[in-house]
Amino acid sequence: MTANGPQTVSTSGSSDGSTDVGMTDDPPLGSPRVDDPVIMSRDLDVYYGDDQALHGIDMDIPERQVTALIGPSGCGKSTFLRSINRMNDLIDIARVEGDLYFRGKNVYDEDVDPVALRRKIGMVFQTPNPFPKSIRDNVAYGLKVQGKDDDVDEQIHKALERAALLEEVEDQLDSSGLDLSGGQQQRLCIARAIAPDPEVILMDEPASALDPIATSKIEDLIEDLAEEYTVVIVTHNMQQAARISDKTAVFLTGGHLVEFDDTNELFENPESDRVEDYITGKFG
């Protein structure tokens, strides 16, 4: 695949701050054509020791849209999400085979620095996990790590505003992030993830620990963020996927991607009986 695959580009960006794009690959058979895939997986397998968690995943993830990954527990949604920014590298027994392209560069090539990759592809987790630091320092963290500490205050304000949190915390930037409500903490984590200006935000069930009102705020925020970023979200909540995503991927037990389509099409007219059974609640 690599020989005929997309052209090599730097994941840490070119000198003007942009990333070059060399996407020439065809979409997998049976998948809808995506005009601007920012992430493409091809025949991606993931193993934990001898156990195979994902089987031959082909997916084109479009730029500046929300792609939802749904499916029953243990079907590999989080594993796929983590393979996009190589978070699976942190699991000793995890092994990846196949290709995962970000803007045309295979992120598993030897010359890719996973830390640089994660600057471009940020992540928000299920349980809000602010650092035990001030709100200001939480958001500044990624900027400082990257040495982007010019106009830090301005960047902090921008990120908090972008995460729909600024109005609520403007007067308490030096208070601990841990003193915020769960929903606010999750928006703080989103502000922390977007402050270094990534291109893609991965979210692993970002609202599952939140009450309905906080969940609704996060959902609105995700839709807004997709105007600027590519968002990939794992959710157990099919209504949430239907509400906020443009594309939906359904994984089923055993780690197979069974269907990937425009969300409206997939929910209204699923191709496979198994997907129909899943989304109508017959199992899962």
Ligand X SMILES: Nc1ncnc2c1ncn2[C@@H]1O[C@H](COP(=O)(O)OP(=O)(O)OP(=O)(O)O)[C@@H](O)[C@H]1O
Per CB under 6 A, residues contacting ligand X are: 48, 53, 71, 73-79, 91, 93, 236
Q: How many helices and strands, by DSSP H and E, does the chain display?
A: 10, 10
Which lies closer to ligand X via its Cβ, residue 87 or residue 164? 87
Helix, strand, coil percentages (3-state) for the chain, rounded to 5, are 35, 25, 40
Run of H or E residues at 265: helix 263-268
Which lies closer to ligand X via its Cβ, residue 87 or residue 180? 87
How far is it, in rounded angstroms, from Cα 260 to Cα 219?
A: 21
Contact criterion met (CB below 8 Å) for 38 and 104: no
Which lies closer to ligand X via its Cβ, residue 64 or residue 256? 256
Burial class (CB in 10 A: 0-12, 13-18, 19+), 95: middle
Nearest to 190 by CA among 205, 203, 181, 199: 203
Which lies closer to ligand X via its Cβ, residue 234 or residue 266? 234
How far apart are CB 96 and ligand X at their closest, in Å? 13
Which lies closer to ligand X via its Cβ, residue 83 or residue 134? 83
